[in-house]
Amino acid sequence: METEIRLRVDGQEHEVAVDTRTTVLDALRERLGITSPKKGCDHGQCGSCTVLLDGRRATTCLALAVAHDGAEIVTAEGLGTDGELHPVQEAFVDHDALQCGYCTPGQVCSAVGVLREAAQGWPSVVTEVGAEGDIVLDQEEIAERMSGNLCRCGAYVNIVSAVAAAAEAEGAGR
């Protein structure tokens, strides 16, 4: 049962025929050859398949492609501009925030989402109740907000520093 759908991925339009059972992750990797989103657990548990889906970070392994016809997707590959790394990617490199790198594309997309969510004032479960305005992305906030991304190499300490540095750089740029 193939259906034709349209996906805009990293700025490029694609038309792709997918079986109704195809997930967004499989459509990207297997049909379009876009392999930066990784398949880790395939059950929503590890975060390695995270992309920015219509502007928000989202896991893609449990999302059916047919249900996301017309979606705008940005993967880790499409984050940079003109051959330059995205500031979050730079921060990951600067802070040595990876070992094998398998979880990294998902971590990076998630971190970009975290910065946007914090900039909009979205709370996390560790944000004090009643706190208003800017979210200060301290270590506790970053760890909580990034907890949907698991890293088998255990590179967490440096991932948290990378996200903190990116948050600080962004704050400075505002």
Partner 1 sequence: MKPFRYERATDAAHAVATVAAHPGAAFLGAGTNLVDHLKLGITAPDLLVDVSRLPLDEVAELDDGGLRVGANVRNADLAAHPAVRARYPVLSQALLSGASGQLRNLATTGGNLLQRTRCAYFQDPSTPCNKRDPGSGCAALEGWTRYHAILGASSHCVAVHPSDMAVAMAALDAVVVTLGPDGERRIPVTDFHRLPGDAPHRDTVLRHGELITAVELPGLPWAARSRYRKVRDRASYAFALVSVAVALDLEDDGRTVREARIALGGIAHKPWRAERAEQALRGLPATEESCRTAADAETADAHPLRDNAFKIPLVHNTLVAVVRDLVPETPGSSLEGAR
Sites of contact with partner 1 (CB under 8 A): 1, 3, 19-21, 23, 42-44, 47, 50, 53, 56-59, 62-64, 66-67, 110, 113-114, 117, 120-125, 129-130, 143-149
4 three-class SS: strand
Hey, CA dihedral for 75, 58, 112, 146, is it positive or negative? negative
Q: Which of 4, 12, 44, 94 binds ligand FAD (CB under 6 A)?
A: 44
Identify which of 71, 70, 64 has the alpha carbon closest to the alpha carbon of residue 20: 64
Nearer Cβ to partner 1 (146/165): 146
Per the structure block, which two tokens stand in for 11? Answer: 């700025």
20 near ligand FAD (CB under 6 A): no
Least distance to partner 1 from the beta carbon of 63, Å? 6
100 near ligand FES (CB under 6 A): yes
Q: How far apart are CA 136 and CA 157, in angstroms?
A: 18
Strand partners, 72: 8
121 near ligand FAD (CB under 6 A): no
